[in-house]
Amino acid sequence: MKHTAPATCGQQHTGVVLMNMGGPEKRDDVRPFLFNLFSDRQIIRLGPRLLQKPLAWLIARKRAPKSSATYAKIGGGSPITAITRQQQQALQEALSMNGRFTVTTAMRYWYPFTDEAVGQLLDAGVDRVVALTLYPHYSKATTGSSINELRRQLAVAKPSLPLTEILFWPDQPDYIAALADLVEQGLQRFSGQAVDIVYSAHSLPVSFIEEGDPYVEHLQRTINALERLTGKPGKICYQSRSGPVQWLAPSTPEMIEDLAGQGCRAILMVPISFVSDHVETLYEIDIAYRSLAADKGIRLESTRGLNTHPRFIHGLKQLVLEHVQAA
């Protein structure tokens, strides 16, 4: 049998930065994590710019006890950093046959921060950088904030370093195939029972969408591609609201209430905007929303995060290679 060598991307050394939110890993991390989050004016503007950090400090102090109690229910902290590190290693291994790559992680609101990722790439002597968001659907509050921070850090550290940006990929084929696999696995748990598929995404203020944020459009692209593959329709709702503004609707609790009123007895919830298991999946869906559904006589099961699903990692690899070769 004839074997062909894998395609490579020349002799250039490419740094890949996986961008994500991050999360507190232990109880003492919760308050400073919240402070970092609420200090970001791209997510929320807390009065005049000069008051942003003082107000963020007050909000973090007020919310920390409740948030700490929530994290205690899933083991004391968020697993998102550990899972992202696993994704980083899996992608590093997947790219190893295609050239010289160094993959790093840059979290926006907790360690490892963006400056650490940039420092690692400079120490490794990379010739170019690929920024790869781990948010499939673009929003200025997620990928937008992360890429702005990466641009800022690179401008300070080495402005001449070429930067390629992968800012959204809502219908990347391998990502969709991995989601479809998780949906099929989830449906098998119901042993043929009639099931409503519910896609739950992180909510955003409606004002973001009115100002041109493509988040909802990107979610719909994912859903359309997924349903073409599975042949099974679902309904979209939004979780994780906070603050007195108008949020995307319906909320996930509202969707559960509505389905209960329609006589639904089984829900497979697909956390469609999350690629890693963390507090929104492990607590909100698996504990809070499951309990709400059970109170209404509904069995609620959820698909796991994509985490290191082989097809998902292959999709990340393809994104990197396609953008590097096009650069």
Pair 215, 253: CB distance under 8 Å: no
**102 contacts: CB under 8 Å, gap ≥ 6:** 13, 14, 15, 16, 92, 120, 121, 124, 126
Residue 145 structure tokens? 């904030």
Q: What gap in Å lies between CA 172 and CA 169, rounded to an integer?
A: 5
Residue 29 structure tokens? 């991390």
Taking residue 21's Cβ as centre, other Cβ atoms within 10 Å add up to: 23
Q: What gap in Å lies between CA 143 and CA 146, rounded to an integer?
A: 5
Which residue's structure tokens are 């400079």? 122
323 is in an annotated binding site: no
Sheet holding 196-202, edge to edge: 234-239, 196-202, 266-271, 299-302
280 is in an annotated binding site: yes
Select from 111, 86, 78, 84 the least CA-distant residue to 284.
78
Binding-site residue ranges for Fe(2+): 202, 280
Binding-site residue ranges: 202, 280
